[in-house]
Structure 1
Amino acid sequence: MRDSDNLKGGFDGTLPMGHQPVLLVIDFQRGFTEPGLTPLASDCDSQIEQTNRLIGAMRGKGRVIFTIIGYETHLADANLWLSKASSLRCLLRDSPACELDPRLDYDPQQDIILHKTQASAFYGTPLSALLAHQGCDMLIVAGATTSGCVRASVVDSLQSGFAPFVAEDAVADRSAAQHRSNLIDMASKYAEVLPSAGLIAHLHTL
């Protein structure tokens, strides 16, 4: 999925798969996965199905971490982002929009939920510390949106020293064009972008 111009420019390396994986499921909450509930939502049915396959493969192999993005009713914690994205107003904490999609195989006995206010799952959360504690050398990424919070988290993951692996059929975006272009860009510069089946096959070897 790499762009030929980026290959010519020297973006030609590969991140090795690791032995201490963590699965990060970004913002698969009802506000993004339930069409009609908010302007941010899109059809994520197939992506949630693939995510659950990844979750099943991760059991006994590594930690599963979910993120939820949401704000206080005064919205001050949205900061400057609200100036660009007025739709964030619908993501109020304790509202249906900030509930995990009920189809996800979330296990409160072993999974972690992180609450965030900005695009990256690393910004203002203890994610880096959690990954370091797990000895993470392979961060598998699913969730929404490909061009927004997924991409921001992938860039921060690489910058933080945790090799990101994007499950291309387990990430979703409202825009098909932005979904495709951001997968290509992440594959070229910041991450490995692979089908869930390939990632699951690797997990089964651990």
Structure 2
Amino acid sequence: IIFTKVLYHSHGKDGGVFAQKVPILRTMTADNPLTEIVPGLQVSEDDTVLTKKYPSAFFGTELASMLTARGCDTIILVGCSTSGCIRATALDAMQHGFRCIVPRECVGDRTREVHESNLFDINAKNGDVVSASEVHEYLEKLP
């Protein structure tokens, strides 16, 4: 499992245009508990936590090389927001040659309309939007 989190320096200036457009992002600093992985999700010592500054988990991180080194050809993408981080990561996953699966019940956004519109585009262009039960069945079949 690879987790991602957004983290900026205490001055928040390293967020560029993204932090200008979404000023609340400037508060995503090391002393803010909101930058931690969601309570209830256990990060094991076999898991990786990547720090990023922009919506895509691929941009400015070593994610693509990590997945390639592990022999991965598919990612299952969960989290929020569907219109931001999920969509950007799904697009970059496809551009790096990875199949991207998005379980619709495991992603979210600020409104239902924005969420559904982005799931429609992801499914049409760069990923497979499926149910969580389909993902569970897929995982059960893996060696």
The TM-score, its normalising length taken from structure 2, stands at 0.95
Within 2, Cα distance between the matches of 1:163 and 1:131?
Answer: 12
Q: Relative contact order (C-alpha < 8 Å, sep 6+): which is higher? A: 1
Residue identity opposite 1:141 in structure 2:
L
Match of 1:133 in 2: 69
Provide the C-alpha distance between the structure 2 equivalents of 1:105 and 1:169, rounded to a whole number of angstroms.
20
Counterpart-to-counterpart distance in 1, 2:75 and 2:141: 16
Q: Note if 1:201 corresponds to 2:99.
A: no
Matches within 5 A, 1:22-37: none
Moved over 6 A (4+): none
Of 5, 11, 21 in structure 2, the residue corresponding to residue 84 of structure 1 is 21
State the partner residue of 1:155. Answer: 91
In proportion to residue count, which structure has more helix? 2
Question: Which of residues 4, 7, 12 in structure 2 aligns to 1:75?
Answer: 12
Measure how far apart 1:198 and its partner are. 0.4
Cα distance in 2 for residues equivalent to 1:73 and 1:152: 25
Give 1:124's aligned amino acid. G
Structure 1's unaligned 5+ residue stretches are 1-63
Q: Over residues 28-53 of structure 1, what are the superposed CA-to-partner deviations in whole Å (9 max), with x where a residue is unaligned? A: xxxxxxxxxxxxxxxxxxxxxxxxxx
Residue number in structure 1 paired with 2:3: 66
1:122 equivalent to 2:58? Answer: yes
- Identity rate of aligned residues, in percent? 37
Q: Residue in 2 aligned with 1:164?
A: 100
* Rounded Cα–Cα distance in structure 2 between residues aligned with 1:152 and 1:103: 25
Q: Which of 61, 78, 93 is equivalent to 2:30?
A: 93
Asked if residue 174 in structure 1 is aligned to residue 107 in structure 2, the reply is: no
Does residue 104 of structure 1 match 2:32?
no
Quote the offset at 1:117 in angstroms.
0.4
CA distance in 2 between partners of 1:120 and 1:114 (Å):
11
Q: CA deviation at 1:95?
A: 1.5
Matched residue count:
142
Please give the TM-score of this superposition, normalised by the length of structure 1: 0.67
1:137, distance to aligned residue in structure 2 (A)? 1.2
Q: State the Cα deviation string for residues 146-199 of structure 1 (Å, max 9, x = none).
A: 010110000000001011111111011122111010001100111000011101
